[in-house]
Structure 1
């Protein structure tokens, strides 16, 4: 049996992994879904000082406080940023690193560097997206109205400092066994982007790539399939 730490992306907390967690635990695995500081049930801790380093520390402290070993460390979307850095610090405890529609960005790059718009945010948080499936059919593919309503009601702002802070030293697929669960990019497109040295995939040259054709939130759109993939790693 394996030990999993499940790290969510922006605006969502450990709650988003509920069905995946149930499936893995039913298979006898130990599972630790994590809410990052300043989000969801930890939104009361939001402040200007909550940055990427805080989220890296969230993961490291969980692993060390619970004395977890042989960890499959899973990061979804933005969660891949702190996961990639935490994996380097925890490498003696890690069995594999899994990126769910995510990956380790180049050192010195921030999550905000990937943004297609140049919105100037006010306050300490990036507000949640509108969760409008008609306006965003690719990323929100596979989500039924129940899942969309859940996202609309439970999403919270995400710490702005965490997406502004550049990533420092992090693990790549050359450092640890690595898997990419690809939901919104076709495999052919991923291979083309890898060959071109695209920053999304530059550190995943030795990763195993597993396609899961759905939207960007497979823990909600395809939880059983995602759980089966994780259980097989």
Structure 2
């Protein structure tokens, strides 16, 4: 059985993984959702100084302080950036890295680099007008749809996000990733492709072509960008399949 460390995307806390984590535990796994600094129940820790490096340190500390071994580290959406930064620094503690509708980032990159320019401009406007110049509130769903699929999110799931999402310290989107450490040769590389990643791979996007090659193993999940909310049990099944099938 695997030890999953589940890292949520922007605006979310550990709460977003509750149903998926429970389904993984019912399959015999250990499932440990993480809340990054400034989000969820840790929102009181938000400051203008909270950035990408803060979240990288959060992930490493979570694993090391609990003395976790043979970890399967799961990165949803924005979490791909701090997980990329943290994964290589976990050394032999890391067994597997899973990018959920996301992909690893190269050194020097940040989340804003992969968003359309007009979306980035609207996010800056939200920060300036509604986030005291340093926090990004959950954008309207009409804007979110411009950069991620909302498939599977009914009114119940959207209301949950509106109610429980917390503003994202915007420096986490702006700060650039320093060159990440290389993963050990025995680390399993997995990508779970929902509609967003699937569409990009099917379109032959050159920057993501490596995900179709060894050592990457790819598992499709037919839903939108927020599977822990739209299809949480199915997501658990896909993660279970990824760890059960080996390499």
Please give the TM-score of this superposition, normalised by the length of structure 2.
0.85
| Structure 1: unaligned runs, 5 residues or longer | none
Number of equivalent positions? 230
Taking the aligned partners of 1:9 and 1:186, their CA distance within structure 2 comes to 15
The answer to whether the 8 A contact 1:141-1:214 is kept is yes
1:87 aligned partner: 87
- The alignment yields a C-alpha RMSD, in angstroms, of 2.4
Taking the aligned partners of 2:69 and 2:159, their CA distance within structure 1 comes to 36
The Cα shift of 1:205 comes to 4.1
SS at match of 1:89: coil
The Cα shift of 1:132 comes to 4.7
2:134 aligned partner: 124
Which has more helix, going by share of residues? 2
The Cα shift of 1:19 comes to 0.3
Taking the aligned partners of 1:17 and 1:160, their CA distance within structure 2 comes to 22
The answer to whether the 8 A contact 2:92-2:184 is kept is no
Alignment of 1:1-233 (within 5 A): 1-116=1-116, 117=118, 118-119=121-122, 120=124, 121-122=127-128, 123-132=133-142, 139-170=149-180, 176-185=187-196, 187=198, 189-190=200-201, 192-193=203-204, 196=206, 198=207, 200=208, 202=210, 205-206=213-214, 207-232=216-241, 233=243
Taking the aligned partners of 1:110 and 1:179, their CA distance within structure 2 comes to 21
Q: Deviations over 1:153-173 (max 9, x none)?
A: 111110111110111233678
Q: Deviations over 1:171-193 (max 9, x none)?
A: 67885311111112464741553
Please give the TM-score of this superposition, normalised by the length of structure 1.
0.90
Distance verdict in 2 for CA 1:136–1:144, change over 3 Å: farther
